[in-house]
Structure 1
Amino acid sequence: MRTLILIAVMALPAFVSANDDCQSTTIMATYSIEEITKDQTSHNRNDLILLRTQNSAFHISNKTVATQWTRLPKNNMKKTSYFIDDKRAIEYEATKTNTNQAWDHHAQLLHPKFTEQATLIEKTGEGCEKLEHYQQKEKTKIVDIWWFPEQKIMKRMASVSADKTINWQLTNATHNQKVIQQQLDILSSYQSTDFADIGDNESDPFFRKMINLGFIEHSASGFYDSKGNSLPSSHQH
């Protein structure tokens, strides 16, 4: 079962000066996600919170569902799903990954290979405020990323395809220990069940609801649309 999530960091401002060491390990970043169809018939908005500590990364979508990836020794990684309205959590068995890239993908919201494969358009700023703009063109879409390499956090993402545009914008970021620990304490307080034990607890109203909704465990890409649905991964995110 899940152990209590704790952090030990100094409280720092959201963006430290270029003369200070960059704080990249622990952060809580809030993104506004906007999706607009080309014909303007649909315009959806969502919020996503990235909460990152030394060995855990959380994606909290629209304050209703959260997913945690915990980095374990020997390239193992464990997933936990949190259902905020129900105050329940489901833990999955740890899985083996070939490299740390899967962890980096979840912890940074950006696939490590993106900056290698994309074209560097522009560099601005210095030190912790250094910002890099990358672009990757594919047959069906163009993806632009504005990336803080020292803080290991994305400032903005724009994905333009034939039928829709998806924009991510960083709206808030904090390294404040008290604020981050408060959010971790809330998630840690949820009643947790191992995925393997769900079959023995089908009388539980929560699990009956999950079954009726067709709840199926899957691995998310790290990017989401405005409704909180995981977007397909193709090494560009």
Structure 2
Amino acid sequence: MKLLPMLLLLLPTAASAVDFCPNSMPTKNWGIQYQLSGAHQGTLLLLRQQAQTAFYNPQNQVAEWWRFDNPQHPQFSRVFGEAKRRIDYYMGDLRTLGVQVSQAEIESFAANHLRQALTKVPQSDCAEAEAYEGDYHQVHYRMLWSTALQLPLTLETTVQGKVSRWQAQQFVNSADVTGHFQQWQAYKRTDFADVGDNEQDPFLAKMINQGFVEHSEHAAYDSRGNPLGNHSH
């Protein structure tokens, strides 16, 4: 399965998880704000609404939007807020492009699978969390996992002596989460299968030229144009 999409493509270095240690999952639409530092600076939002999960970069208004109303036939969209456009992918597109999708992995930042590959260790930072550490695919990981949210609060990686970390900071309120999904739903949409027939469209031509959209083994790209799921297991 292809895992660890934006997670490992936008890694940071930052503070402790002590200040954000939730003891329950919000009951309505909700999100988590992650602060990124180190090689990549900025903010990343994880947004959840029923069967929908999105990763949103507010700096460039690019989102990865997954819908699992039918878990066996997920839908995916690349969202471009500045242009008010989105490109939709369906199960046939994902299958043709060789992308394997797990709802549990998308909803956990692909860290659920990673957690199972690490060793549980003692920690005192957060009573509602579990700590994990270990080596996986030549990377050393340290993770603080929220048992309430089923998400990482921190994830630290060490590669050839270089340490990076990303940090959960706070919840995103329900109204903001709802607003994002409503906006994206209203954007002008193009089916991925039709992109090749619409290269005269300036927006699509730009996306193709920048590598955000191409007919390759990858159906989706992160906010920097790197293919989602470049970690194969």
State the TM-score, normalizing by the size of structure 2. Answer: 0.73
Alpha-carbon distance, 1:233 to partner = 2.8
Instruction: Give the whole-Å Cα distance in 2 for the aligned partners of 1:25 and 1:165.
Output: 35
Are 1:108 and 2:111 matched, yes or no?
no
Read off the aligned partner of 1:164 and give its amino acid letter: K
1:69-84 aligned at under 5 Å gives the runs: 69-73=66-70, 75-84=72-81
- Larger C-alpha radius of gyration, 1 or 2? 1
Alpha-carbon distance, 1:70 to partner = 1.0
Instruction: Give the whole-Å Cα distance in 2 for the aligned partners of 1:121 and 1:228.
Output: 35
Alpha-carbon distance, 1:234 to partner = 5.7
Alpha-carbon distance, 1:231 to partner = 7.2
**Aligned partner (choices 30, 35, 42) of residue 33 of structure 2:** 30
Instruction: Give the whole-Å Cα distance in 2 for the aligned partners of 1:85 and 1:34.
Output: 24
Alpha-carbon distance, 1:219 to partner = 5.1
Instruction: Give the whole-Å Cα distance in 1 for the aligned partners of 2:121 and 2:147.
Output: 14
Instruction: Give the whole-Å Cα distance in 2 for the aligned partners of 1:91 and 1:139.
Output: 32
Instruction: Give the whole-Å Cα distance in 2 for the aligned partners of 1:53 and 1:143.
Output: 29
Specify every segment of 5 or more residues in structure 1 that has no aligned partner in the other structure, as ranges: 1-13, 36-42
**Paired residue secondary structure (1:208):** helix
Q: Match for residue 46 of structure 1?
A: 42
Count of matched residue positions in the alignment of Structure 1 and Structure 2: 204
**Paired residue secondary structure (1:154):** strand
Q: Match for residue 59 of structure 1?
A: 55
Alpha-carbon distance, 1:89 to partner = 0.1
Read off the aligned partner of 1:203 and give its amino acid letter: Q
Instruction: Give the whole-Å Cα distance in 2 for the aligned partners of 1:62 and 1:178.
Output: 16
Indicate conservation of the 8 Å contact 1:124/1:131, yes or no: no
Read off the aligned partner of 1:49 and give its amino acid letter: L
Indicate conservation of the 8 Å contact 1:91/1:195, yes or no: yes
Are 1:68 and 2:68 matched, yes or no?
no
Q: Match for residue 117 of structure 2?
A: 117
Residues 191-226 of structure 1, C-alpha deviations (whole Å, 9 max, x = no match) = 1111112233222111121222233352569xx79x
Instruction: Give the whole-Å Cα distance in 2 for the aligned partners of 1:169 and 1:152.
Output: 15
Closer, same or farther: CA 55–110 of 1 in aligned 2, 3 Å: same
Q: Match for residue 7 of structure 1?
A: none
The CA RMSD over aligned residues, in Å, is 3.2
Alpha-carbon distance, 1:133 to partner = 0.9
Read off the aligned partner of 2:131 and give its amino acid letter: H
Alpha-carbon distance, 1:73 to partner = 2.4
Alpha-carbon distance, 1:124 to partner = 4.8
Closer, same or farther: CA 25–77 of 1 in aligned 2, 3 Å: farther
Indicate conservation of the 8 Å contact 1:101/1:111, yes or no: no
Alpha-carbon distance, 1:27 to partner = 2.1
Indicate conservation of the 8 Å contact 2:54/2:66, yes or no: yes
**Paired residue secondary structure (2:231):** coil
Alpha-carbon distance, 1:148 to partner = 0.7
Indicate conservation of the 8 Å contact 1:202/1:208, yes or no: yes
Residues 151-195 of structure 1, C-alpha deviations (whole Å, 9 max, x = no match) = 222211111100633210112213x33222122222222111111
Q: Match for residue 186 of structure 1?
A: 183
Closer, same or farther: CA 49–204 of 1 in aligned 2, 3 Å: same
Indicate conservation of the 8 Å contact 1:56/1:68, yes or no: yes
The percent of aligned pairs where both chains have the same amino acid is 24
Closer, same or farther: CA 24–162 of 1 in aligned 2, 3 Å: farther
Are 1:158 and 2:152 matched, yes or no?
no
Closer, same or farther: CA 22–87 of 1 in aligned 2, 3 Å: closer
